[in-house]
Amino acid sequence: MTRRLRSVGILGVRVDDVTLAEALELAAGWLEGDRPRLVVTPNAEFVMRAQWDPAFRKVLNRADLAIPDGFGLVWASRVLGNPIREQVPGTDFAEGLVRLAGDRYRVFFLGAGPGVAAAAARRLQARYPGLRVAGAYPGSPHPEADPEVLGVLEAARPIDILLVAYGAPKQELWLWRNLGRVGAKIGVGVGGAFDFLSGRVPRAPAWLRRAGFDWAFRLAVQPWRWRRQLALPAFALRVLWHRLSGRRAPDRPFPGEEQ
Ligand code: UDP
């Protein structure tokens, strides 16, 4: 795809106005390219953290692609007068990449709880026969563990696509530090995707996600998330406050934080 990405700034965080199909088309080109590409999956929680965590915000704004994982971002872009077209859940993008990989590209599953990455890989292999799993390993997102994890990845080469499930911001910081050393063409922070793809955690039905109520379903199946989810009303209030004070979502808004 030659066209330039259209990006929108939501409270200082870049979100790209891509559909799932467009994001996968970009990824297909990158798999043939010659440098690693970092994909992030911002949602309302990411944006709230980025308000006070400049290192995280920098990675989000400098990534090669920032897909709108959360419905909250689609809502905010509309409220702030610069709408993006659709939500692109990170889990769907991860599965799309696996489909795209076919029997041609090798995928590594890094992160999540013990056995979860391997279970996700097995399930996907059953769904997409021919899928080439380079490996699956929980590892640890802490910088002290980098040499050990990089050793495991080194032994698993070649790796074309690296999916990293350490939750935000650890997975983004991990990729920022290490993606260049892995040799993969695409690295993606996928959050809870392995939990869903392995079948360990049920995913909200599509109609509920489309209606913007993913958070309610997640709260029902993982009630301990309530504290984290306080970021959602805080995000909504902040967006409404911006709107009331006459600000809109700019197109390319990040002085010093662009590529
Ligand atoms: N995780 C991990 N190590 C950590 C922190 C998180 O492997 O130090 C995993 C966790 O098991 C889960 C994933 O990271 O599979 C992200 O989980 P969460 O649901 O919090 O992600 P979200 O999509 O909400 O960012």
CA dist 120 and 118 (Å) reads 5
Q: Which amino acid, 233? A: P
For ligand 1, say whether the CB of 102 is within 6 Å of any of its atoms: no
pLDDT digits (tens, 9 = 90+) for 37-96: 999 999 999 999 999 999 999 999 999 999 999 999 999 999 999 999 999 999 999 999
Ligand 1 centroid, distance to 4 Cα (angstroms): 32
Query: Which band of pLDDT confidence, cut at 50, 70 and 90, is reported for residue 251?
Result: confident
Ligand 1 centroid, distance to 49 Cα (angstroms): 15
Task: Give the closest residue to 63 by CA, choosing from 35, 40, 88.
Answer: 40
Burial degree of 28 (CB within 10 A; 0-12, 13-18, 19+): middle
CA dist 20 and 23 (Å) reads 5
CA dist 137 and 116 (Å) reads 9
pLDDT over threshold 70, residue 259: no
Burial degree of 105 (CB within 10 A; 0-12, 13-18, 19+): buried
pLDDT digits (tens, 9 = 90+) for 110-156: 999 999 999 999 999 999 999 999 999 999 999 999 999 999 999 99
Residue 1's pLDDT is what?
46
